[in-house]
Amino acid sequence: MKALIAAVIIIAALLLIIPLLRVKTVLEYSEGEGSARVGLGPVMIALNGGKKEGKRKKARTGGGESEKKEKKKRSVAEDFKEKLSIILEIRDKIKRRLTVDELTLWYQSAADDPADAAMAFGAASAGSDILLPLIGRELKIKKQDVRIGVDFTARESRVYAKAALSLPVYVIIRAAAMLAKSSDKAAPNKKTEDG
What are the φ and ψ backbone dihedral angles of 50, each rounded to 5 degrees?
-70, 160
Write out pLDDT tens, residues 13-51: 877 777 778 889 899 998 888 888 988 877 888 886 544
Exposed/middle/buried for 150, CB within 10 Å: 0-12, 13-18, 19+? buried
pTM: 0.63
**pLDDT, tens digit, for every residue of 107-156?**
999 999 999 999 999 999 999 999 889 888 888 889 999 999 999 998 89
Q: Distance between CA atoms of 37 and 162, rounded to whole angstroms?
A: 11
pLDDT tens column, 144-188: 999 999 999 988 989 999 999 888 888 888 878 877 877 776 655
At 74 the pLDDT is 54
Residue spans per domain, the chain: 21-45+81-185
